[in-house]
Chain A
Amino acid sequence: MGGDDAPGVPIAAARAVAGEVDVLLVGDPAALAGTGLDVVAADQVIDMGEDPALGVRAKPGASIAVAIDLLARGLVGAVVSAGSTGATLAAALLGLGRVPGVRRPVVAPVLPVGHGVVLVDAGASPDVQPEALVAHARLGGAYAAARGRVSPSVGLLNVGAEPGKGNSLARAAHALLSALPGFAGNVEPAAVLAGAVDVVVTDGFTGNVFLKTVEAMAAGGATGPGGVAGGVAGGRGEVHGGALLLGVDGVVVVAHGAAGEAELAAAIATAAVAARGDVVARLHALL
């Protein structure tokens, strides 16, 4: 069981959603004893400094590997992790496989602005080639469609709206994305937070910085020009209820390592909604 405040916060979050979602905790049985919740024992831990893929390979008894195995065997409907995103990605990809046609899964939170803006990628792949952003757009568009948006619009996160703006990655990606149906061009952060598009694509490094900046501003009650962060939420926990790991063949939600009880409970709810709504099957059909 990962997360900065494990096992206390995960236990509290699981209790908070009891009655709405059946939650099974995976981790050190001694630490989880007496909670009254169902527990599956996992006695290994993948350290934050460890290579995620090698860690998952070397430690099949790690909680994330055990949890993913339960999902792969159909014993649970979804997995939520506040542990290392890299380890979660590795365990999910190795244990579940991918939706056909997906090269590398992405972290896809839904920003609570407009009809909900899907951010792709918020941290799975920091270094990507321009072609990957086209794949991000297709995945994000399919997810938005699965969430009910008709012909979702896709924007490329950039420092200006004009086609020539940005670094070499953004300019090359813009040229490739221009052939994609629904592409609405470059979007600046303020436009994203105004709900100008249904999907915003970027590399995992930029997306992670963008998300954390918005969250930090919202948590501090700060507002940027035009009340940017104020338009999102009043606190970090309200910015998003975890992020779906989009492209793996199962419902996996990643939450902040520092997630509090409410935030982790929201992530569990996100996972339950995705599982009950058959989001992965819809992605299969849409991609």
Chain B
Amino acid sequence: MSTRVSAEEVLDLLVDGIRRVMGLDDGDLGLAGRPATAWRGVRFDEDLHADSLDLVEVIEGVERALRRRGVEVRVADVDLVRLRAVGDAADAIAGSAA
């Protein structure tokens, strides 16, 4: 079982998590019909109006999903508070894989 995960795989999970937690769809952000990579530049604060609870819920959802696949990930708390955009989160989660 792989213990690595690509940032692209994480991005797909993040986008699903954001849609679920924040009740958003692509149309809300003008991203309808565009690939998941279009979400990389979406900012948690300015674009999604996400607070720290939204952020933690999304990140922990992705971490749990990856653990179920045998990939151990955990973004350090000090890094989590520095995440600005969805792409940052994808990179941080993928980079934390043990």
Contact = CB atoms under 8 A, between A and B. Distances in A.
A54 B77 contact: yes
Interface stretch (B4-12, B39-47, B51-59, B85-93): B51-59
B31 interface: no
Given A103-B22, A103-B23, A54 B60 contact: no
B56 A94 contact: yes
Contact of B53 (A53, A58, A129): A53
A93 interface: yes
Contacts of B55: 53
The range of chain A's interface size is 10 to 19
Contacts of A58: 77
Contact of A93 (B22, B23, B57, B81): B57
A58 B81 CA distance: 12
A252 interface: no
Contacts of B22: 103
Interface in A30-81: 51-54, 56-58
A103 B18 CA distance: 11
Given A53-B55, A54-B80, A57-B56, 11 more contacts: A51-B52, A52-B53, A53-B51, A53-B52, A54-B56, A54-B81, A57-B60, A57-B77, A89-B53, A90-B56, A103-B23
16 contacts: A52-B52, A53-B51, A53-B52, A53-B53, A53-B55, A53-B56, A53-B57, A54-B56, A54-B77, A54-B80, A56-B56, A57-B80, A89-B53, A93-B53, A103-B22, A129-B49
